[in-house]
Amino acid sequence: MQQLIEPHGGKLNELYLSAADAEDEKKKAHAYPSWDMTPRQICDAELILNGAFSPLDGFLGREDYDRVVAEMRLSNGLLWPVPVNLEVSESFAASISEGDSIALRDQEGVLVAVMDISDIWAPDKQQEARKVFGSDDEAHPAVHYLINIAGPVYLGGKLRGIEPPMHYDFRHLRDTPAELRARFSKLGWRRIVAFQTRNPMHRAHQELTFRAARQVEANLLIHPVVGMTKPGDVDHFTRVRCYEHLLNRYPEQTTSLSLLPLAMRMGGPREAVWHAIIRKNYGCSHFIVGRDHAGPGQDSKGQDFYGHYDAQEMVQQFADELQIEMVPFKMMVYVRDRAQYVAVDEIADGEEVLSVSGSELRRRLQEGIDIPDWFSYPDVIDELRRTHPPRHKQGFTLFFTGLSGSGKSTIANAVMVKLLEMGGRRVTLLDGDIVRKNLSSELGFSKEHRDLNILRIGYVASEITKNGGIAICAPIAPYTATRRRVQDMIKEVGGFVEVHVSTPLEVCETRDRKGLYAKARAGVIKEFTGISDPYEEPQNPDMRLDTTDISPDHAAHRVIIKLESLGYIR
Ligand code: PPS
Pocket test for ligand 1, best of 434, 435, 445, 509 (most atoms within 8 A of CB): 445
Q: What's the CA-to-centroid distance between 428 and ligand 1, angstroms?
A: 20
Beta bridge mates, 544: 500
- Asked if 136 and 124 count as a contact pair (C-beta separation under 8 A), the reply is no
Q: Letter for the amino acid at 504?
A: P
Q: How far is the centre of ligand 1, averaged over its atoms, from the C-alpha of 198 (Å)? A: 40
Give me the catalytic one of 160, 174, 181, 198.
Answer: 198
| Ligand 1 atom nearest to CA at 440 | 7
Catalytic-labelled residue, pool 199, 238, 413, 480: 199
Report which DSSP code applies to 249.
T
Structure confidence at residue 25 (pLDDT):
96
In ligand 1, which atom is closest to the CA atom of 435? Answer: 7
Which atom of ligand 1 lies nearest, measured to the CA of 432? 8
Q: Which CATH class is domain 2-161?
A: alpha beta
- Among 410, 413, 430, 433, residue to substitute to test ligand 1 (most atoms within 8 Å of Cβ): 433
Q: Which of 85, 197, 397, 401 is catalytic?
A: 197
Sequential DSSP letters for 27-90: HHHTTS-EEE--HHHHHHHHHHHTTTTTT--EE--HHHHHHHHHHSB-TTS-B--S---EEE-H
- Enumerate residues lining ligand 1, CB below 6 A: 404-405, 409, 432-433, 436, 445, 450, 453-454, 475-478, 514, 516, 525, 527-529, 533
Q: How high is the pLDDT of residue 2?
A: 63
Residue 432: what pLDDT? 84
Q: Catalytic residue at 197? A: yes
Nearest ligand 1 atom to the CA of 477 is 3
Helix or strand holding residue 473 (H, E): strand 470-474
**Secondary structure element (H or E) that encloses residue 19, with its range:** helix 19-29
The helix or strand, by DSSP H or E, that contains position 418, with its residue range, turns out to be helix 408-422
Q: How far is the CA of 52 from the centre of ligand 1 (A)?
A: 47
Q: Which amino acid, residue 319?
A: A
Homologous superfamily assigned to 391-566: P-loop containing nucleotide triphosphate hydrolases (3.40.50.300)
416 Cα–ligand 1 center, Å: 21
Tell me whether residue 503 is one of the annotated catalytic residues: no
Instruction: Return the pLDDT at 41.
Output: 98
Concerning whether 209 is annotated as a catalytic residue, the answer is: no
Measured at the CA of 491, the angle between CA 374 and CA 237, to 5 degrees, comes to 60
Give the mutation target among 516, 533, 535, 547 for probing the ligand 1 site: most ligand atoms within 8 A of CB: 516
Query: Of all protein residues, whose CA lies closest to atom 29 belonging to ligand 1?
Result: 404
Task: Name every residue whose Cβ is closer than 8 Å to that of residue 28 and which is 6 or more positions away in sequence.
Answer: 101, 114
Cβ partners under 8 Å of residue 280, min gap 6: 5, 6, 7, 8, 287, 322, 323, 324
Domain boundaries in the chain? 2-161, 173-260+266-387, 391-566
Q: How far is the CA of 460 from the centre of ligand 1 (A)?
A: 19
How many Cβ atoms from other residues are within 10 Å of residue 198's Cβ? 20
Collapsed DSSP state (helix, strand, coil) of residue 224: strand
Distance CA 59, CA 536 (A): 35
Q: Check for a shared fold between 173-260+266-387 and 391-566.
A: yes
Instruction: Give me the tens of pLDDT residue by residue for the chain, a chain 570 residues long.
Output: 568 999 999 999 999 999 999 999 999 999 999 999 999 999 999 999 999 999 999 999 999 999 999 999 999 999 999 999 999 999 999 999 999 999 999 999 999 999 999 999 999 999 999 999 999 999 999 999 999 999 999 999 999 999 999 999 999 999 999 999 999 999 999 999 999 999 999 999 999 999 999 999 999 999 999 999 998 888 999 999 999 999 999 998 999 999 999 999 999 999 999 999 999 999 999 999 999 999 999 999 999 999 999 999 999 999 999 999 999 998 889 999 999 999 888 999 999 999 888 888 888 888 888 999 999 999 999 999 998 888 888 999 999 999 999 999 999 999 999 999 998 899 999 988 889 999 999 999 999 999 999 999 999 999 999 999 999 999 999 999 999 999 999 998 899 999 999 999 999 999 998 999 999 999 999 999 999 999 999 999 999 999 999 999 999 999 999 999 999 998
Residue type at position 558: R
Q: Which residues pair with 37 in a beta bridge?
A: none
255-257 β-sheet, strand order: 255-257, 219-224, 192-197, 286-289, 325-328
What pLDDT does residue 570 have? 86
What homologous superfamily is domain 173-260+266-387 in, according to CATH? HUPs (3.40.50.620)
For the CA of 475, the closest atom of ligand 1 is 8
